[in-house]
Amino acid sequence: MKVNFNLKGKVAMVTGGGSGIGRGICLKLAENGADIAICDINMDNAEKTAEMVRNLGSKAMVQKVDVANAGQVETGVEAIIKTMGKIDILCNNAGVSLIKNIVDLEEKDWDAHMNINAKGVYLCSKAVAKHMIARGEGGRIINTASYLGKIAAPGLGHYCASKFAVVGLTQSLACELGPYKITVNSVCPGDVDTPMMEKEWVMHAKNRGITPEEAKEENRQRMLLGRLEKPEDIANLVAFLASDLAEYITAESINVSGGLPFTR
């Protein structure tokens, strides 16, 4: 059953919107009437998402943005406002992941996770929040954290640290922006069937001497609901949080994980 959250007239900026969860968010928001600014470093992927958004009847633009680069973020936000007129909804979704124990982790890998997963949320939120405050009409900031932003996991200390940071930043931003009627929440996915997760299955398989297909199937079998998570599962919650129905929800980090960390 499809539920319409009535986002007609809203403009959403989605980082990492070219593929995976980000594309799912773009399409779900467009399905509910929002126009979409797709930000990514891969313009081919972003253009494909834009075409899909337009096919749903919404306006779309693409903007190349490295979320860890303050200059690109500020330029991107200015371009979106100039082209689309405003930003009502910011979805901080861009992210990276890598499986490696801390003792083997290179400093550049730590920095990449903190810069993209955490610093990117800070830079984009800062730039867009200034615009939302100046407009005086409120807004929505929705961050993609992780269920691993609440609990630890071996081989993912760097990822956990970056996502714990997102959860903390979500709460602080909600405190600071609440007086301006800007809500700030996080969605916390589990193991989602996306290109990024495919890379993790390859890493798991290599570490255990099995095939990536076997690693993926093992993952599926341990899910409480018997299937892998889809981008749409997260996008449904994002659309709700972006809507008027969620106007009194802020500072929350909500699991959409199919029950993780609990498994069969």
Helix, strand, coil % over all residues of the chain, rounded to 5:
50, 15, 35
Q: Report yes or no: 28 and 50 within 8 Å, Cβ to Cβ.
A: no
**Of 10, 28, 122, 159, which residue is the catalytic one?**
159
What are the structure tokens assigned to 161, written together?
């640290």
Query: Between 43-55 and 20-31, two packed helices, what is the crossing angle to 10 degrees?
Result: 20
Angle, vertex CA 31, rays to CA 123 and CA 13, nearest 5: 15
Active site residue 163: yes
The Cα 223–Cα 141 span in angstroms is 29
Residue type at 83 in one-letter notation: T
Which residue do the tokens 């919107």 mark?
Answer: 17
**Of 10, 28, 119, 163, which residue is the catalytic one?**
163
- Residue 54 to residues 82, 84, 93, Cα–Cα distance (Å): 19, 14, 21
The Cα 65–Cα 115 span in angstroms is 13
Helix, strand counts (H, E) of the chain? 9, 7
Angle, vertex CA 161, rays to CA 67 and CA 14, nearest 5: 30
Residue type at 62 in one-letter notation: V
The Cα 61–Cα 161 span in angstroms is 32
The Cα 185–Cα 199 span in angstroms is 27
Active site residue 159: yes
**Catalytic residue ranges:** 159, 163
